[in-house]
Structure 1
Amino acid sequence: MLSTPDLQVKVTTTWWSTTLTCSTTCTLTGNPTYIWYRNSKIVQEDTSPSYSVYFKTEDSFYCAVKGINSPAVSVRAQSYFHLTYTHQRICTLKGSSVNISCSYTYPRGHTVSETKWYTKGKLDEAPQILSPGYGGRVEYLGNMQSDFTLTTDLREEDSAEYKFRFRTDQTNWEPTIPGTTLTVIGLQVKVTPATVTEGQKVTLTCSTTCTLTDNPNPTYIWYKNGHVTTQSNSLFLNPVSSEDTGRYSCAVEGHEDLPSNEETLTVRCEYV
């Protein structure tokens, strides 16, 4: 005899989250997909019967599987330990500055006793606390030091995962979620082909190894022997002549003070 399962939503609340679990009165066969609704809108479809939620209002939730809906439950917002980073990844230019920030909440009745930003480097390296005197390049901003600027002269060795920790007078809770991964890069000029003869065509491309966070579609300024030549994403010389021989570099518009290294283009004479 087949039985039709009833679905119920079980609510588990802790200091750091609320977890909703879709429970059944009998074991479901196969690998069912659980659909979660929040205020009648689908928010998750997954084989896991659980859904973790952070929110600031009173919302209605119910789950469904194989066309069977659970009764809706109303869950009132609590105050949790919660941390959210503004950016999971940041890609920026060597020599520039960057702002890394987060927001956090904690239970009512607690008082924040400690806030720290720190870096996580290689596995065998101890975390390094970013004090305001970190190389003379850190300036803390915002409320409770939840954001900071790693000021001017970013270096490639500044590339790391940056994490935030806060503690209260009642607990040493520490988030385990990934922080903000910072990648510091320099611009590179690529010449194609590397060796060229008069009358041929050559393309100079300004490239980065990751997409710049603050300017994902940059316009590049091109320089020849230190002087501005044009403004374009790539530099096409067709046909190329001996007069095009020189040292070429590029920069992102708005960051002209952070040019790439120079690449020398040598044009060989064509002999008949």
Structure 2
Amino acid sequence: MKMTPVIVTDGDSVNLTCNTTCTLIGHTYIWYRNKQLLTNQEVSLHLIPVSTEDAGNHSCAVKGLESLPSPEKKLIVTYGPKNTSVSVSPSGEIVEGSSVTLTCSSDANPPVDKYTWYKKTVTSPTASGQSYSITNITSEDSGDYYCEAENIYGRLSSPLVSVDVQYGPKNPSVSVSPSGEIVEGSSVTLTCNSDANPPVDKYTWYKKTVTSSKASGQNYSIANISSEDIGEYYCEAVNTYGCLNSTALMVIATGLCFNLKIQGCCDGICIE
């Protein structure tokens, strides 16, 4: 017995025929794939359409003569990339300043010969190759990435993978409300803002001439403000990865000429 080997592409149709030099009438044929019995009992094995699961070593035999199977012949199924995916190493939290490697994997026959990397917000490719390494990663590298795997039979993109870079507070600053001229006796609110990932979980307020902290929380309100509140204020922003102070902001309360960052004298009080 002999069987003609074939090489086919996924989705095509193929017939495998069991041939014998003996004259057999009314006999049932048995088919095997990788030595596992198939349900087909005809002289031909019809694979319509052929799939990647059909690949392997096939053989046939006449029922009752299972001890005399045909030699095994391989059915090779070629196909474009399937199940394309991205893995991230190391796994877990990604901290600014560390290194990260993205690796693209895809099932294909013949194997993938071209990998291309993309960042969702960027139109042009970011890199090529099965692995994409980002050294000394920064917050600007945060975003969604995907790879595209390609061989001669097609290409397929992976699902998006999010790269979330963690970092301590950056650029803390203080804003004042209401802005502009503020009359003594009114209320003023200082607000601290800072870029951080994860977000800042603790804000602390300080006055330069005072050793202990004045308050905590993103907002610091001064009610019925007076000349005693004159001074420079700053905030400290803290999260899991660090802390950073803002630039100090001068607050001046001098009777009816109470302003922010004012220079000169008012009611006998001078700011140089």
TM bucket by the smaller chain? 0.3 to 0.5
Q: TM-score, normalised by structure 1?
A: 0.40
Larger radius of gyration: 2
- Give TM-score scaled by structure 2 length: 0.40
